[in-house]
């Protein structure tokens, strides 16, 4: 039986062994149908996780997928032609509106950081991007990155 060198075990424990790293998965969902994945891209993890942010991996995945997009490491404004800025506001009444945009999760959790600031560790495996909204009513924001309604003015006739 071969003995594993102690240094190798120590490096594995500290997260420096490139042989034990899994690829990061980036999933981008259809903006008009929650849960329908339009792109699923695998990006190799680097030996130094500090080099990779959720934003940099997202840009690499979008370029690899060839989906049309606008954005930077700090955030995604549009994928597959989704509205942005004022066009992403949908009025429900004169005083209640929803603002739509792209949201992300890391392994099912929404970080409180911009994608470019969230550094991926070796145990972060999946970045999920979805089109969500927040509602503004009577001077208060309700919810954050909700997905139970879609941007009807954009998705009309696009959802199955």
What are the tens digits of pLDDT across the range 108-160?
Answer: 999 999 999 998 876 677 899 999 999 999 899 998 888 866 666 677 766 44
Kind plus residue range of the DSSP H or E element containing 136: strand 126-137
Instruction: Identify the pLDDT of residue 15.
Output: 39
Domain boundaries in the chain?
21-155
Instruction: Identify the pLDDT of residue 35.
Output: 76
pLDDT in tens, 69-81: 999 999 999 998 9
Instruction: Identify the pLDDT of residue 17.
Output: 40
Q: Which CATH class, in words, describes the domain spanning 21-155? A: mainly beta
End-to-end CA distance of the chain: 58
Judge if pTM exceeds 0.85. Answer: no
Asked whether the predicted pLDDT for residue 14 surpasses 90, the reply is no
Instruction: Identify the pLDDT of residue 49.
Output: 52
Q: Are 26 and 58 in contact (CB under 8 A)?
A: yes
**Contacts from 50-56 at CB under 8 Å and sequence distance 24+?**
50/119, 52/24, 52/119, 52/120, 53/115, 53/116, 53/117, 53/118, 53/119, 53/120, 54/104, 54/106, 54/111, 54/115, 54/116, 54/118, 54/120, 54/127, 55/114, 55/115, 55/116, 55/117, 55/118, 56/116
Look up residue 14 and give its DSSP letter.
H
pLDDT in tens, 129-142: 999 999 999 899 99
């Amino acid at each position: 039986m071969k003995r594993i060198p102690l240094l190798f075990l120590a490096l594995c424990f500290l997260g420096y062994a490139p042989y034990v790293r899994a690829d990061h998965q980036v999933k981008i969902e259809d903006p008009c149908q929650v849960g329908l994945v339009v792109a699923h891209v695998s990006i190799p993890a680097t030996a130094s996780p500090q080099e990779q942010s959720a934003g940099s991996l997202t840009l690499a995945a979008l370029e690899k997928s060839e989906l049309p997009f606008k954005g930077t490491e700090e955030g995604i404004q549009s994928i597959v032609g989704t509205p942005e800025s004022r066009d992403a506001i949908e009025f429900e009444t004169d005083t209640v509106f929803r603002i739509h945009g792209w949201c992300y999760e890391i392994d099912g959790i929404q970080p409180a950081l911009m994608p470019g600031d969230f550094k991926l560790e070796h145990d972060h495996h999946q970045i999920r991007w979805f089109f969500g909204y927040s509602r503004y009513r009577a001077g208060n924001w309700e919810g954050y990155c909700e997905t139970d309604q879609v941007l009807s003015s954009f998705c009309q006739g696009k959802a199955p």
